[in-house]
Structure 1
Amino acid sequence: MLMSDEFVARSLEEVRFWSRIMKEHSLFLKLGFRCEDTQLINEANQFFAVFEAIENRANAYPFESDPAVIRRFNEEVHNAVSYIWAFKRKVLGLILTCQLPGGNNFPLLVDHVSREANYFRNRLMELNLGRLEPLPDAIIDENVFFLRIMADHAKFISHLLDPSERKLVEQANNFSHEFDQLLFQAKDLDSMRPQSQTVPLLDQFLDQNRVSVKSLRDFKQTARDLIEACRIKSIIHPLLADHVFREAEHFLFIIDMFDNSLSGKSRE
């Protein structure tokens, strides 16, 4: 169970990070619709406004806020996230049934952003119930989720770079393969639970993932800077480049948090 101050701090940190992500998803989806998809564009604009307002409210709440107030806020946010998740799944269905020919939203990208919405929604529910996963389970589940997110990012970068950017495309494809392999390893560790959840194995798991995520984070940072300076050819929106960089940073933060918790546990 979370203490009241920890509940407030973790809730606000999650909402501040993920509400911005949801807001930006709305923009990216809108940019991928065709000009005639006015209803979908309007819905995306509405979600952008909703999550911008949530982000502003989350930033305005101090960490000393009343836990009851933050619990109600989490419920409001959970409701909004459920709606954007449903919107994303609707869009995915339209694409997969060929009802949006000529659009620029990859099916995998739409599935990807819906998975992130579902993750955010589940995290809010866990916080409000005060029932976070035990550390060994959380380490495996969070890494399985985020390793797939990182693998997806590498694939999106590869496909949105101009084909003539051969070296960068090759680097992105290598990262895609690397994170697919890390994901398979994480799923192997998952299927071996609970016997696999020893401190040495989990510690090595985190260390190995950290090295790869740092390399991908640095690649994303370089790509973002080159895109912002108009030094490479791509159809990657500068905000998308920054968006995927921030998600890698967030994953590294989670890995370090787990590592610190695991180190403390191993000394007990």
Structure 2
Amino acid sequence: MNGEEALLHADTGVTSGKFAERSLNEIRFWSRIMKEHSLFLRLGFRAEDTLLINEANQFYRLFENIEQTSRSFTEQSDPEQIRRFNTEVQQAAANIFGFKRKVLGLILTCKLPGANNFPLLVDHTSREANYFRKRLGELNEGKLKPLPEAIIKENVFFLRIMADHAKFIGHLLDPSERKLVDIARNFSNDFDQLMYQARDLESMKPQSQTVPLLDQFLDQNRVSVSSLRDFKKTARDLIEQCKIKSIIHPLLADHVFREADRFLEIIDMFDAHLTSHSPQSSQ
């Protein structure tokens, strides 16, 4: 089997030594994200939406507790304990996914007039909850996608997330911040194109799952994600220093920065796997 064939058959399944580490990494990152989603949704509800506000507060506390509990485990923890914890968190992710879809339905049927949650933002947060839920299920089952398929699917998911972020930033900046609005709009267009390109690659699989194509795919995405991450960091710092006009919560600015940083980590991880399975590395 040559290096490219090895890549096409490489399994990203989790060994027992990595199971706790990967599970806790996912839970610590995404439970914080889910907690913050609860806060952002709550801030977007109207004062009279007391039931929805209370439900959002309950989810905030739930994921705050999950985040704290995850700190009590280590990479050396009993895998069976981690598996049970994953199942518990997976159910919490499924529940907040259901809450977000309920809110989206209320917005789209005009039952929350005057509220401040964009439908796309609610849909965006529900996609992340579903991603989190599925990730924990894959870890517990030890059934992750083969490497080439994982590279394409993860990039399709995160490129859309990045495109959404650029759109939200553009809409939440004050219209008088014309230059920054233009920059956000350009990022939105860039990531829309990258997402469509990734979906084209996905539709061409398995023939498209070659080392050279995937390597170029990751390199191209890394350049754009790095630029967007740097823009988000600048925007976050300016918002914290009250140097630009917007209705962006400082925590939201940091939230989208962390997700871009996460995407870059995933790209680097995939790139390292590609390198280790390339024909050159096997010689």
Q: Quick check: 1:137 aligned with 2:143?
A: no
Identify the residue that residue 149 of structure 1 maps to in structure 2.
Answer: 161
The 5 A counterparts of 1:56-135 are 56-135=68-147
Aligned-partner SS, 1:103: coil
Cα deviation for residue 205 of structure 1 reads 0.1
1:38 alignment partner AA? T
Looking at structure 2, the residues matched to 130 and 62 of structure 1 have their Cα atoms a distance apart, in angstroms, of 19
Tell me the TM-score normalised to structure 1 length.
Answer: 0.99
Aligned-partner SS, 1:89: helix
Aligned-partner SS, 1:171: helix
Aligned-partner SS, 2:144: coil
Identify the residue that residue 262 of structure 1 maps to in structure 2.
Answer: 274
Cα deviation for residue 2 of structure 1 reads 1.8
Looking at structure 1, the residues matched to 103 and 141 of structure 2 have their Cα atoms a distance apart, in angstroms, of 31
121-130 vs 2-11, which moves further: 2-11
CA deviation map 1:55-97 (0-9, x unaligned): 0111221111000000000000011111100000000000000
Q: Given the alignment, which residue of 33, 39, 44 partners 1:27?
A: 39
Q: Given the alignment, which residue of 178, 181, 186 partners 1:174?
A: 186
Looking at structure 2, the residues matched to 16 and 54 of structure 1 have their Cα atoms a distance apart, in angstroms, of 8
Aligned-partner SS, 2:48: coil
1:30 alignment partner AA? R
Looking at structure 2, the residues matched to 58 and 262 of structure 1 have their Cα atoms a distance apart, in angstroms, of 31
The 5 A counterparts of 1:219-238 are 219-238=231-250
Cα deviation for residue 160 of structure 1 reads 0.2
Cα deviation for residue 261 of structure 1 reads 0.3
Among all aligned residue pairs of Structure 1 and Structure 2, give the percentage whose two residues are the same amino acid: 74
Aligned-partner SS, 2:71: helix
CA deviation map 1:152-210 (0-9, x unaligned): 00000000000000000000000000000000100000000000000000000000000
Gaps of 5+ in 1: none
Identify the residue that residue 203 of structure 1 maps to in structure 2.
Answer: 215
Looking at structure 2, the residues matched to 21 and 59 of structure 1 have their Cα atoms a distance apart, in angstroms, of 16
Looking at structure 2, the residues matched to 146 and 60 of structure 1 have their Cα atoms a distance apart, in angstroms, of 29
Aligned-partner SS, 2:277: helix
Identify the residue that residue 203 of structure 2 maps to in structure 1.
Answer: 191
Cα deviation for residue 112 of structure 1 reads 0.1
CA deviation map 1:89-116 (0-9, x unaligned): 0000000000000000000000000000
1:185 alignment partner AA? Q
Q: Quick check: 1:250 aligned with 2:262?
A: yes
Aligned-partner SS, 1:195: coil
The 5 A counterparts of 1:160-171 are 160-171=172-183
Identify the residue that residue 8 of structure 2 maps to in structure 1.
Answer: none
Moved over 6 A (4+): none
Identify the residue that residue 52 of structure 2 maps to in structure 1.
Answer: 40
Looking at structure 2, the residues matched to 125 and 17 of structure 1 have their Cα atoms a distance apart, in angstroms, of 16
Aligned-partner SS, 2:77: coil
2:179 alignment partner AA? K
